[in-house]
Amino acid sequence: MLLRRLVVVLLLVLPAAEAPAHAVGPAASKIVFVSNRDTSGDLTQGDVYELDSTTGALARLSRTDQVYGDGELAVSPDGSRVAYAINDASVLVAEADGSGSREVPGCDASYALSFSPDGQQLACGGASGNKLAVATVDIGTGAMRTLALGSDPAWSPDGARIAFLDAGNHPAFVPVQGGATQLVSSATVDNYSGPALVWSPDSHRLAFVVGDVGEPQSLWIVNTAGHVLHRVHGVGDVPSWSPDGKTVAAVDTRTHQVVLVDAATGRKRQLTREHVSVSAPSWSPDGRRLAFLRSRPLLGYGSDSEEDIVTIGRDGRGRRPLTSPFPNGGAISSPIWTRRALVGGMRPPRVRVLPLHPTRETTFGDQVDNVVAAVSQSSGTSGAGAGLP
C-alpha cells in the first residue's frame, strides 16, 4: 500500500523593517543593483539595493518602485553615493545608506551617468539649445557646466577628462575644465546595453564595443591618442577593467559566457561555464573576483524580468550565487561592485516559514504583503503510480 504525506508550507513576505541594515562580518565591498523584488506594479521598474558581497546581507536604498532596470545607475568611485534614473524623467543622487536623496537638475535620465573621482560632481547628458550635450553638475550647489555636444559621458579616474560619444556616436573626450574635444576613434559605437565607454584605471586607455546587440560585435581597446591597441572580434556586452588594468572582462557573443581579455596581448579565455547565458561582468575592488548576471530561462513565466547575481574567482573557481528567484529576488540592472561595507539602508521584507495543517485553521497576526505556498511530499513504500506530478 502506498503511503503519501503532504506538507504545505507558507512563505510569508512581511513588511520591510525601517531599522538600518548592517552587514555582519568583515565585508569591505558591496554590489549595487536595481531589483523589482518588492515591486507590485510594473516589473521593469524597481528600487536600488546594496548587497554585501561576503555575507549576502541586503539593504534597500530607495522606496520609489520607479527605478527602471534598463535606466542609468552609477556609483561614486569610493562607494559613498549612488545616482539613478526615475521613470526616465529625472536623476536622483543619494548617500550610500539611502539618505539625502535629491534630484540633480538638468540631467537627462536616458543617458549614462558618471561620478567625478571625489564623488562631488556628476557627469550626465544635458541640453544645449535643442541638442544633447555632455555636462557636469555640482551635486552640492546644482551648478551645471556644458562641455561638448554629445552623450554618454564617462569621467576618467584621474579626474582630468570626460570621454563621451559625439553626435555621430564616435568616441571622443574633452577636458573637465572645458576646451577642445579630441576624437578618439572614427568607429561608431551602437551598443546601448550599458556605459558606452569605459576608462582603464590609469586613464590612458578606453574600452568599448562596436556593433549593436544582435549584430556582429567586437571589443576595441584604444589609447587616448586614438591608436587601436586591440580589436577582439566576437566579444560584446559592457566591458569591465580589472583594478590593475591588465584584463578586460566582457561576454563572448557566441557562447554568451564571460571572457577575460588580456589587455597587453588581446588574447581571451573563457571564465564562466554556465548552462544559460550570462552578462554584465563587474570586478571586485581587489580584483580577485567578478560578479555577473545569470539568466533564468527555466522559470517558465514571462513576468519575471530578473536575473541572478553570481560571483566567481578570476581563476574560475569559487562560484557563489548571491540571489535566487525567492525569497531574495534578483537584478533587473547590471551589478556594480564597489568599495565600502554595506551600512544603513532599509532591511528587505522578512520571510517567515509556517507549516499548514489540513485540519487546523491558521490565523496571520502580522500584516502580510505576499504569500507563496510550497508543497513537499514524502512517501512510504513504493508502488504503482508513486509520486506526485
**Per residue of the chain (389 residues), what is the pLDDT tens digit?**
444 443 344 444 444 444 444 433 344 699 999 988 877 666 677 899 998 888 778 888 988 878 877 678 999 999 999 999 887 678 999 998 889 999 998 898 888 999 999 999 999 998 888 889 999 999 999 999 999 999 999 999 999 999 999 999 999 999 999 999 999 999 999 756 678 999 999 999 999 999 877 778 999 999 999 999 999 999 999 999 999 999 999 999 999 999 999 999 999 999 999 999 999 999 999 999 999 999 986 554 444 567 999 999 999 999 999 987 765 578 888 999 998 877 665 555 555 555 555 555 544 444 444 444 444 433 333 333 333 23
Domain with CATH 2.120.10.30 in the chain: 24-348
Peptide bond into 327 cis (omega under 30): yes
| Cβ-based neighbour number of residue 316 at 10 Å | 14
Q: By the 8 A CB rule, do 290 and 311 touch?
A: yes
Global confidence as pTM = 0.82
Residues 6+ apart with CB under 8 A from 157: 77, 117, 199, 201, 202, 203
Q: Give the CATH fold of the 24-348 domain.
A: Neuraminidase (2.120.10)
Question: DSSP assignment, residue 20?
Answer: P
CA separation for the pair 358, 380 (Å, rounded): 19
Q: Report the chain's C-alpha Rg in angstroms.
A: 23
Cell of 179: 576646451
- In Å, what is the CA distance from 260 to each residue of 100, 267, 308? 38, 8, 20
